[in-house]
Amino acid sequence: MIKRTDREIIVVMKDLREMILREPLIARVLGMGMQAYLVGGYLRDILRGARSKDIDFVVEGNPESILKKIALDTGGSVVKFSKAPLVRLVAGDYTLDFTELKGTIEEDLSQRDFTVNAIAWSEEEGMIDPFNGFRDIREKRIRAIAEDNFLDDPLRLVRAYRFSGEFEWEIEAGTRKTIRKLKGLIRQPATERITLEIFRLLNSTNSYSCLNALKMAARDGILEEIINFNNNKLQHNIKVISRFNTFLNKIPQEQKVFLNKPFSQGLSYGGLLRAELLLFGSSLEKSRLSISRSVLKRLTVTSGLLKELEENKRMDRKGVFDFFTKAGEAAMDFAFLTMRRGLLMKAERFMVAKPVLTAEKIMEITRLGPGPELGNVLGELKRLWFLGEIKNETDAVAWLSGRF
């Protein structure tokens, strides 16, 4: 039986079928003769005017034999999971997940996290929306289906804020009340899963929406449970992120290009910078985050330098070079995090600096061999070039000649 929340869905249905079947892989699956329901995020995204390459189906019966045939036709591959009740088809950039229907489709939807994800569609029945998810999508609202569904998977407690930041939606008041009640359960899921949700939130392309979601997560106590950080300090760091967002709005577009580059663990550089500000001063070993070595190294370096800068806020030209040298690959991070526009250009100059003289040329002039002293000379030449005291190879040769 088709379940509709209001008359508006009848209008949407006409366009929805066309939009769904326009995707060849979906049409291929639906044409295989098995009872299949399109569910979850792909359907939600179509209804909110977006597209995804992650497509979820609930099917009657075991889909493996059919998936193998589709994989053969498309050049894709079938992946089985020992610990998850799903079969995956990977075809190019697309990922199709299939789970077997247990009971009715309404019963399946009732076990999901939020109403906006508890919508299904099939060619025979059209849209199936037992929890008014379409209405919540239209009104940009994240609403939990039931408290017990948080108990089934406590990761949903933090996912609400990630959706809020990613989609620019509000979390319904009753859902936030339930999250506050159950916030301690967030210590149960694997740290890798929690980290993915937090990093996806920090990666949000809408800085205002990301900030608003962080504020809600802090007020509701969920961030404190994850980061194990005093809430007053969390609130302070979030205010710093707010100032950081304002700073970014004032810098030239060409300097913002850096922020879109990918870094690690799904973070862009912009997401990494927000992570560095959010986690500043926290004890990472006590958090519920699983952080890669490359991200941890950046967090450690920038945290140390920001603390040093707090103690000595003035930097002369030599001091700037010393800070950048300590920062190394994180020099641009440090420049952005200080929110000093003048440092950005200096950081760019530092990062692209090439040796005025090659090591071979220095050894030829000085008779030095490979070793620490040669490294010191290279470092000093870079410093003098950065400060403008050496401008070219002739200046460098003259400096070396006077020293050796």
> Measuring CA to CA, which residue among 60, 1, 57 is closest to residue 29?
57
Inside any domain, residue 374: yes
Residues 342 and 389 in one domain: no
For residue 107, give its domain range. 1-139
Indicate the residue among 105, 139, 173 that finishes a domain.
139
Residues 340 and 367 in one domain: no
Inside any domain, residue 333: yes
- Cα torsion 116, 118, 123, 127 to 10°: value is -60
Which structure tokens are listed for 241?
């992120």
| Better pLDDT: 14 or 150 | 150
Question: Does position 161 have pLDDT exceeding 80, yes or no?
Answer: yes
Residues 42 and 128 in one domain: yes
Q: In this predicted structure, what is the pLDDT of residue 390? A: 87
Q: In this predicted structure, what is the pLDDT of residue 312? A: 76
Q: In this predicted structure, what is the pLDDT of residue 6? A: 44
Residues 302 and 397 in one domain: no
Inside any domain, residue 240: no
CA torsion sign for 263, 54, 191, 81 is: negative
If one counts the domains in the chain, the total is 3
Which structure tokens are listed for 304?
């140390």
Q: Please compute, for residue 21, the number of CA atoms within 13 A of its CA located in the half-sphere on the CB side.
A: 11
Section 274-293 average pLDDT: 94
At 304, is the pLDDT very low, low, confident or very high (cuts 50, 70, 90)?
very high
Residue 370 and residue 360 in contact, taking contact as beta carbons nearer than 8 Å: no
Residues 16 and 55 in one domain: yes
Residues 63 and 30 in one domain: yes
Residues 73 and 126 in one domain: yes
Inside any domain, residue 329: yes
> Measuring CA to CA, which residue among 117, 121, 114 is closest to residue 146?
114
Q: Which residue has the tokens 């040796």?
A: 355
Indicate the residue among 139, 162, 189 that finishes a domain.
139
Question: Does position 272 have pLDDT exceeding 70, yes or no?
Answer: yes
- The DSSP code for 329 is G
Residues 341 and 394 in one domain: no
> Measuring CA to CA, which residue among 4, 270, 33 is closest to residue 129?
4
Q: In this predicted structure, what is the pLDDT of residue 374? A: 86
Q: In this predicted structure, what is the pLDDT of residue 273? A: 97
The CATH number of residue 45's host domain is 3.30.460.10
**Over the stretch 6-64, which tens digit does the pLDDT of each residue have?**
444 444 556 888 889 889 889 888 888 888 999 989 999 999 888 889 999 999 888 77
Q: Which residue has the tokens 């690959």?
A: 329
Distance CA 380, CA 390 (A): 10
Residues 92 and 134 in one domain: yes
Residue 99 and residue 86 in contact, taking contact as beta carbons nearer than 8 Å: yes
At 236, is the pLDDT very low, low, confident or very high (cuts 50, 70, 90)?
very high
Which alpha helices (H) appear in 22-139, and where do they start and end? 24-30, 41-47, 64-74, 105-109, 133-138
Q: In this predicted structure, what is the pLDDT of residue 91? A: 87
Average pLDDT over the chain reads: 89
How many residues are present in the chain? 404
Convert 177-210 to b/e letters by CB count within 10 Å (16 or more is b). Answer: ebbeebbebbeebeeeebbbbbbbbbbbeebebb
Share of the chain above pLDDT 90, in %: 56
Residues 20 and 107 in one domain: yes
Out of 150-164, 227-241, 375-389, least confident range:
375-389
At 261, is the pLDDT very low, low, confident or very high (cuts 50, 70, 90)?
very high
Inside any domain, residue 185: no
Question: Does position 363 have pLDDT exceeding 90, yes or no?
Answer: no
Inside any domain, residue 244: no
Inside any domain, residue 303: yes
Inside any domain, residue 93: yes
Q: Is 22 exposed, middle or buried (0-12, 13-18, 19+ CB in 10 A)?
A: exposed
Residues 303 and 389 in one domain: no
Q: Which helix (H) or strand (E) element contains residue 55?
A: strand 54-59
- Cα torsion 252, 255, 257, 262 to 10°: value is -140
Distance CA 210, CA 202 (A): 6
Q: In this predicted structure, what is the pLDDT of residue 378? A: 86
| Better pLDDT: 294 or 74 | 294
Residue 233 and residue 261 in contact, taking contact as beta carbons nearer than 8 Å: no
- The dihedrals phi and psi of 42, each to the nearest 5 degrees, come to -65, -45
Residues 109 and 56 in one domain: yes
